[in-house]
Amino acid sequence: MRYCVNPACPSPENTDSVEQCVSCGATLLLNGRYRVVKVLGQGGFGATFAARNVSLPGEPVCAIKQLRVGSNNPSAIERARILFEREATTLGKIGNHPQVPSLLDYFEIDGQFYLVQEYIKGLTLKQEVKKNGCFDEFQLRAVLDETLELLKYFQSQGVIHRDIKPANIIRRSIDNRLVFIDFGAVKDEVSHTAILDIEDRTPNTSFAIGTPGFAPPEQMAMHPVYASDIYALGATCLYLLTGKSPRRLGYDPLTGTICWRDRVNVSDNLAYVMDKMLQPILSQRYQSSDLVLADLHYQPPEDEVENVQSDDAPLQDSTQVTSPTRLDDETDKSSLRDNPNTNLASEPLDRTYLTDTRFHTRVSRRSSQLRNTASWNRTNLSGNSRARGSRLTAEELKTDYFKGRRDFANCNLSGADLQRLNLEGVNFNESKLIKTNLRGANLRKADLSQTGMNHAILRDADLSDAFMSYCNLAGADLRGADLTNAYLTYANLSGANLCGADLSHAKVTQEQLAMSKTNWRTTFPDGKRGWG
């Protein structure tokens, strides 16, 4: 099929045998080389099409975005042309990143502007929710880790995306990496001035300003900043957790914040981070991705926690623990109302405050973990008698896992022999697996974040898609291990043996790898092998 891109065409679908649209007479070969085959999406900006470049061997597929000016005024068209060329330059610059579609071409035909980009095959996060259901905390943290790194890249290039939402983040089929698509709304930071109509001096709103529910107030007022993308990403997280647009969740009439806490079951740490990402008052929101990542992975020093509450203290009723993510009705809301410009986010978070609130006692953290077991893995046994944080034997682990339990957070399995066990999807968050023998074990999609695995034997283990942020792997034997797509952000790899390991598409830095041992059989994140 050939598709006509004329916005006024009454019947744009045509057969492959015609060169001009049967309905309106427009040419069906765009710019002499692109044969449009279908519509990918439509919106206020225009439309996005899938097309084939017939001028190249194999006629590769590309994505073409048509930008409609919405005015016949010559001055408006000229201003749109300036904006279009600026955006094309910006897209060309940020398209060098492997998780951003490359800009292949751009041109203008009959007052319509076209951007040609790399076609990304895969499902959007919105489609994933509709297909597989809402995300749990483990999945959401993985999304945040990856997308926040992308936002850091955008900011380093002076770019604000302005339309982050689940439909604009796609998981690329070939490598499962998240890719930001639909950059038609990007705004180069060098220009702070909205394009104005010369006659009435009002903003030209024919250019998209974001999606209601996902765009923050300052962006809807035509004043987007870097932190606007952070708000939109937080709103995207709400959709992934609830399956609903944020504006359907309702707003607090006093603070303007989205009412979401009673809709989901997440840890206090994640709730705190999301609340701050979603602050409607700009000065109270995170100002950079680095600050979000730091709080997302924050751990209070052990001695600070011990000073506040002993490990042996009895577990309090969870209803007696005050959640720091809720505003005190008499104090916090009134202070926000009386002084809305209070700056709570422009500086890095006070770590003492974090220790005293989100992690103010081991009791509150444990009660939070017990409340949120289901969010980590919905297959856990609600009536399991063995408490989290206890010393387990290999036989107890195997028995409980076989019965359906997956949550073994804070457990102590140091020195245990767990060779070749199937532990796919297990949660060992903050557990002790020091010198544990996991040779040949299946740990695919396991949560090993903040886990102590010093000198553990992980030779030939399957750790693909495992979440291993802040995992201590010092001196661990990872020879021949499968670490494809593993999240190793901030993991300690000092002295770890990665000879023959497969790190394809793993989230790990060169600095981390430099502390480990590799050889010619080690496959690095870029898919190449070499000596380390």
- Please state the φ and ψ torsions of residue 383, each to the nearest 5 degrees: -100, 15
User: According to CATH, where is 3.30.200.20 located in the chain?
Assistant: 2-118
Residue 78: the pLDDT is 80
DSSP β-bridge partners for residue 474: none
Residue 199: the pLDDT is 38
Of 494, 399, 507, the C-alpha closest to 449 is 507
Of 183, 166, 290, 167, the C-alpha closest to 227 is 290
Q: Give the three-class secondary structure for 61.
A: strand
Question: 2-118, superfamily in CATH?
Answer: Phosphorylase Kinase; domain 1 (3.30.200.20)
Of 404, 370, 376, the C-alpha closest to 389 is 370
In angstroms, rounded to a whole number, what is the distance separating the alpha carbons of residues 329 and 335? 10
DSSP conformation letters of 428-475 = -TT-B-TT-B-TT-B-TT-B-TT-B-TT-B-TT-B-TT-B-TT-B-TT
In angstroms, rounded to a whole number, what is the distance separating the alpha carbons of residues 373 and 61? 44
Residue 344: the pLDDT is 37
Of 180, 187, 184, 192, the C-alpha closest to 158 is 187
Say if CB 213 and CB 246 are below 8 A apart: yes
For the question of whether the overall pTM of this predicted structure is more than 0.85, the answer is no
DSSP β-bridge partners for residue 345: none
Task: Please give the class, per CATH, of domain 377-532.
Answer: mainly beta
Residue 196: the pLDDT is 36
In angstroms, rounded to a whole number, what is the distance separating the alpha carbons of residues 154 and 225? 12
In terms of Cβ atoms closer than 10 Å to its own Cβ (0-12, 13-18, 19+), residue 194 is middle
SS3 readout for 76-106: HHHHHHHHHHHHHHHHHHHCCCCCCCCEEEE
The C-alpha angle with vertex 182 and arms to 38 and 46, in degrees rounded to 5, equals 60
Residue 482: the pLDDT is 96
Q: Which two tokens stand for residue 183?
A: 């950059």
What residue has token string 């989290």?
Answer: 388
Say if CB 79 and CB 158 are below 8 A apart: no
Sign of CA dihedral 238, 243, 246, 252: negative
Residue 215: the pLDDT is 92
Q: Give the residues of the chain that fall short of pLDDT 50.
A: 186-208, 304-305, 308-385, 532
Residue 302: the pLDDT is 58
- What count of Cα atoms within 13 Å lies in the side-chain half-sphere of residue 159? 26
Q: Which residues are catalytic?
A: 163
The matching CATH number, chosen from 3.40.50.300, 3.40.1350.10, 3.30.70.270, 1.10.510.10, for 122-371 is: 1.10.510.10
Q: Give the three-class secondary structure for 52.
A: strand
What residue has token string 């490990």?
Answer: 311
Q: What single-letter DSSP state applies at residue 495?
A: T
In angstroms, rounded to a whole number, what is the distance separating the alpha carbons of residues 300 and 481? 31
pLDDT, tens digit, 9 for 90 and up, residues 236-278: 999 999 999 999 999 988 888 999 999 999 999 999 999 999 9
Q: What is the CA radius of gyration of the chain?
A: 26
In angstroms, rounded to a whole number, what is the distance separating the alpha carbons of residues 415 and 455? 10
What residue has token string 């245990």?
Answer: 416
The C-alpha angle with vertex 366 and arms to 362 and 369, in degrees rounded to 5, equals 145
Q: Which two tokens stand for residue 229?
A: 């993308």
Run of H or E residues at 30: strand 29-30
> What ranges make up the beta strands (E) of 74-185?
103-109, 112-118, 122-124, 159-160, 169-172, 178-180
Of 73, 78, 63, the C-alpha closest to 30 is 63
In angstroms, rounded to a whole number, what is the distance separating the alpha carbons of residues 297 and 282? 23
pLDDT, tens digit, 9 for 90 and up, residues 336-387: 334 434 343 334 444 433 333 333 333 333 333 333 433 333 333 333 445 5
User: According to CATH, where is 1.10.510.10 located in the chain?
Assistant: 122-371
Contacts of 412 (CB under 8 A, 6+ apart): 389, 390, 391, 392, 431, 432
Instruction: State the helix-helix crossing angle for 289-296 and 268-277, rounded to 10 degrees.
Output: 170
User: According to CATH, where is 2.160.20.80 located in the chain?
Assistant: 377-532
Of 406, 148, 126, 147, the C-alpha closest to 242 is 126
